[in-house]
Amino acid sequence: EGDVRQAGKGVCQICIQLAQEDTDGRLPRAVAAEPQLNCRTPAEQRVYQAGSGWLAVLTTWINVTKCFVGAASFELPRAFSDAGTVGAIVGVCLLAVLSSFSLRRLAHCCELMPRNLASRSGSPFTYYQIGQEAFGRFGAATALFGVVAMTLGVCGSYIVFVCTTMAEVTGMRREVWLVLTMAAIVPLSWMRHLRIVAITSFFGIVALLTAVISVTLDAAEQQPPQPIGNMTKFDPEHYPMFLGNAGFLYLISTAVLPLYQDMDVQSAPHFAATFNSSIVFVTLLNLAFGLFAWYAYGSCSSDSDVRCVDGNVIGNLSVGPVKTAVQLLLSVDLLFTTIVFLYPFNEALERQLLKPQHGGTGGGGGAAGGDGGEGMVSG
């Protein structure tokens, strides 16, 4: 009964604050006036107040963009052929708008946490704590499961892709590349600030853009097998398949909270503009790349032997130095993307295992499960 009351109280508090939002989609007035006040301890606020606002905006933009761009971009040309030109453009734009709205709200959940918990917490809030405050033990367990499941799914698929690709390029066994990949990921995952991770994210973005340009140049040399006016406008039969592939572009829910918390107090009010500019850049890049590659390589038909766009557009490249370079660049990109997605999981795990425990009173902020104090995440 106590958990039910706590969950109801937390939900009501969040709903009331969200109901106070301005009609233009900004944060509640009380939150917007004091950005980041609840997300950090007083000591952390002093440290981040001494930081550079423009640097926080730049590093956040780089890290957010790195989370968005990756292997999914090379699946889009085939996905667009499943959706049609109109279906692809409308679908991707709609996904971008919904993702911007929902992910920014998810990031700002830390602002809705009680102020007394912010003053006693040893670090910025985690999804575990926010889930516990809103829905009690059930919310904490659900949030933890979501973070672990997404981290394993996303990072696991990236590591498998890197190992498989590098084994194909070099002829070495995948097991060897698995050891080498983990040897690179482990020390990089020890970095404690996303501003430092932004350095590797920058190189990841450069690698991805270089790979996209390489594929685009190869596509430009092809003789398009179809007039642009004959491209499918909308294909309802295969549209669900398109949505699954396109939705993966914006799947960064576990990373968005630490990305927001890594901004300093001066730059935090610019998070929405920083985040949205990244989404616009990624959306336009992927729309242009996906549509052009589909047009250049052609649509696939079950009753035709004519070449067409591959499920992964890298498969359309001829064996040679260009394809090898694209595979290497994409592997580098995904390696650095893995670091960003591991950050929230590592952060929560280390607070559970390494931070000293302090007893406390009051409700719901601890990550140890239960209602007492800071639990195992306090420092």
Contact in structure between 350 and 357 (CB atoms under 8 Å) = no
* pLDDT the model gives residue 128: 83
Cβ atoms 296, 224 nearer than 8 A: yes
Rounded to two decimals, what is the model's pTM? 0.74
Q: How far apart are CA 348 and CA 328, in angstroms?
A: 32
What is the per-residue pLDDT for 361? 33
Question: What pLDDT score was predicted for residue 122?
Answer: 52
Contacts of 209 (CB under 8 A, 6+ apart): none
Angstrom distance (rounded) from CA 199 to CA 339: 11
User: pLDDT truncated to tens, each residue of the chain (379 aa)?
Assistant: 554 445 444 544 544 444 444 334 343 433 333 344 446 544 454 444 444 567 778 888 998 998 888 888 888 888 898 888 999 999 999 999 999 999 998 888 888 887 666 545 456 778 888 888 888 999 989 988 988 888 888 888 889 989 999 998 998 999 999 999 999 988 887 776 777 778 888 888 898 899 899 888 888 887 766 677 778 888 888 888 888 888 888 888 888 888 888 777 777 788 889 999 999 999 999 999 999 988 888 777 655 555 678 888 888 888 888 889 888 988 888 888 888 888 777 776 776 666 544 433 333 333 333 333 333 233 2
pLDDT score recorded for residue 4:
43
Looking at residue 175, its pLDDT comes to 92
Residue 255 is encoded by which pair of tokens?
Answer: 């990373």
DSSP annotation of 319: T
Which residues partner with 28 through β-bridges? 21
Number of H helices, E strands in the chain: 14, 0
Radius of gyration for the chain, computed over Cα atoms and rounded to the nearest angstrom? 23
**Torsion-angle region of 320 (φ positive above 0: left; ψ -120 to 50: alpha; else: beta):** left
How many other β-carbons are positioned within 10 Å of the β-carbon of residue 244?
12
The β-bridge partners of 75 are: none
What DSSP assignment string belongs to 81-134? HHH-HHHHHHHHHHHHHHHHHHHHHHHGGGGGS-HHHHHH-SSS--HHHHHHHH
Q: What is the pLDDT of residue 39?
A: 62
Instruction: Output the CA–CA distances (angstroms, integers) from residue 279 to 15, 19, 23, 198, 296, in the order listed.
Output: 27, 26, 22, 17, 25
139-164: burial string, b at 16+ Cβ within 10 Å, e else? bbebbbeebeebbeebbeebbebbbe
> What whole-number distance in Å separates Cα of residue 36 and Cα of residue 258?
12
For residue 144, how many C-alpha atoms fall within 13 Å in the half-sphere facing its CB?
17
| Tokens (6 digits) for 169 | 């390029």
Query: Residue 357's pLDDT is what?
Result: 47
* Distance from C-alpha of 226 to C-alpha of 295, rounded to nearest angstrom: 7
Cα dist from 350 to 45, 217, 306, 342, 353, whole Å? 21, 45, 54, 12, 5
Among residues 315, 138, 292, which one has the least CA distance to residue 222?
Answer: 292
Please report how many Cα atoms fall inside a 13 Å half-sphere around the Cα of residue 312, on the Cβ side: 12
Phi, psi of 177 (to 5 degrees): -70, -30
Give the per-residue pLDDT at 31: 39
Cα separation, 351 vs 115, in Å, equals 20
